[in-house]
Structure 1
Amino acid sequence: MKTYRNLSGTSNIKCYDITDDGIIVVFKSGSEPHYLYNHLSAGKPIVDQMKKLATQGRGLCTYISTTVKDRYAKKW
């Protein structure tokens, strides 16, 4: 897992892991903080944008809350 850089300083994202067809996002809070988003659940263009935002360290949490919403494949 890579630590999310959180350049805005306000993100609830702790870390992430990029896979070939998805991204795992770990939030700082919540009873099930791990979320897997993949091509089947969210679509390739959305997952690709999430990967881009994760590596940039800015905007991922906002993108998830405004665009991706509950299109995760699994949470734990």
Structure 2
Amino acid sequence: MKRYRNLDGNSGVAAYESGDGFIRIRFVNGETYEYTDEVTGRAHVVNMQKLAQAGLGLATYVSRFVHDAYARKL
């Protein structure tokens, strides 16, 4: 997993890993969730991938739009 840059210094996201059609997010509490095109929706996955790369806004996005729409907890 790649360390989340956390540009605002106050994120609940610690790391992420993404590929075609998915993103896995590890939160600071140690829990990791996988979001996929099939379960979460392509638009949401793409948005989360962009936010993850930018290092800003990912935890807020998850909280607001896809909180429980994950494919699986790892």
Q: TM-score, normalization: structure 1? A: 0.93
Match of 1:28 in 2: 28
Match of 1:14 in 2: 14
Report the more deviating stretch, 21-30 or 49-58.
Answer: 21-30
Question: Counterparts of 1:28-47 in structure 2 under 5 Å?
Answer: 28-29=28-29, 33-47=31-45
Number of residue-to-residue matches in the alignment: 74
Once the two structures are superposed, residues 11-53 of structure 1 have per-residue CA deviations (whole angstroms, 9 ceiling, x without a partner) of 01110001111000000115xx010000011100000000000
* Identity fraction in percent: 43
Supply the AA of the counterpart residue of 1:6: N
Inter-partner Cα distance in structure 2 for 1:61 and 1:23:
13
Match of 2:47 in 1: 49
CA RMSD of aligned residues (A): 0.8
Runs of 4+ with >4 A deviation:
none
Match of 1:65 in 2: 63
